[in-house]
Chains A and B, each alone.
Chain A
Amino acid sequence: MIQLENVSKRYLTKKALNAVSLQIEPGHIIGLIGSNGSGKSTTLKLIAGLIQPTAGTVLVDGRIATRRICDKVAYLSELDSYYSFFTVNQMVDFYAQTFRDFDRKKAKNMLDFMKLNGTQKVKHLSKGNRGRLKIVVTLSRNVPFVLMDEPLSGLDPIVRRSIVKSLISFIDLGKQTVILTTHELQEIEPLLDQVILIKNGGILAQENVDDLRSRENLSLTDWMVKHYGE
């Protein structure tokens, strides 16, 4: 379980999160949605232990999220962060050496599923294939929590679709929980069973997607627009 208790985060003078309390139960795929600058990435980075809260506590399975929480949390950055001179296989090797929970067999299966060529240099990959490769190395870790910051942004519909499909195929919700941020709501909606709506550094709502649909008769996009009051 992930718990945020009264968490605030300030970058110099700018408030990114404001006294947020949140509980995330395991076994779900959760969408963290909100406009640009609402605090989505900050929330993920706090859970991944990559940044520390200005106030409050972040707990992952009861442990305070520091850098060492990475043995429980896999994090996919929205930035492209890798050594561009690596080949695809070398990148997989690098991850396998870095993380003890890395599953090489799963990585191999996913590379095949994504039709990625292991001998190709990362810097020569198309943007779509770099997006796919990031997914492969993140999902190949057998960790209870998988965080993905904008896994679909800037990718074409075909790549987005293959990523959505790979998420369903390679995640084991009996053992894993996924939290992802996205603006591609329409595409990702059937994949989510929960959403957390965030605005100006505060949580507006946390909902089960199907409950939301039966109660409000709205798709996620419409629901978000309604809450943002635009």
Chain B
Amino acid sequence: MGDPFNASSPIYLQLCERIKNKMVRGEIRPGDRLPSVRDFAIDSGVNPNTVQHAYRALEETGIVEKRRGQGTFVTEDREILQRMRSGLRSRHISAFVQEMSAMGCSEAEMLEGIRQFFKTKGEQL
């Protein structure tokens, strides 16, 4: 069974995030077929209706497309994928900056912190 879900956000959105993250990491590539709703549901321990909902949501953004009788495929439109990637990146950055600001860090401190981080721990990533 898959990883646990966090409590507050809808499960279908968390499924979308997981799929997008896999795309960004290259585990799912443009033109790949996504697992069937049923297989994905069994794999992640989730209601098949919820998986369906997630696939539909991804389809609406154009990231995946449904082909009749064949399944759901990742788009081969690089532009859409690029947009998704930069969207994901700016979301993570803004979450990071918000957290750091809440701790009272200035921009310079953040940048310095990141530089420091890569110097010491960067190679482990």
Contact = CB atoms under 8 A, between A and B. Distances in A.
Interface of A: 27-29, 161, 164-165, 168-169, 173, 189-193, 209-211, 213-214, 217-219, 222
A192 B45 CA distance: 10
B48 interface: yes
7 contacts: A161-B45, A165-B42, A165-B45, A168-B41, A168-B42, A173-B49, A191-B47
Interface of A is mostly: helix
Contacts of A168: 38, 41-42, 45-48
B42 A190 contact: no
Interface in B1-54: 1, 5, 7-13, 38, 41-42, 44-50, 53
B11 A217 contact: no
A28 B13 CA distance: 19
B45 A164 contact: yes
Nearest to B9: A213
Nearest to A219: B7
Contacts of B13: 210, 214
B46 A191 contact: yes
Given A164-B1, A165-B45, 14 more contacts: A27-B49, A29-B49, A165-B42, A168-B38, A168-B42, A168-B47, A173-B47, A189-B11, A190-B47, A191-B47, A193-B50, A213-B11, A217-B8, A218-B8
B10 to A, nearest CB: 4
Contacts of A29: 47, 49
Contacts of A219: 7-8
Given A210-B11, A219-B7, A190 B45 contact: yes
B46 A214 contact: no
A210 B12 contact: yes
Contact of B47 (A169, A192, A213, A214): A192
Contact of A214 (B1, B9, B38, B50): B9
B40 to A, nearest CB: 10
A193 B1 contact: no
Interface in B97-113: none
B8 A210 contact: no
A165 B1 contact: yes
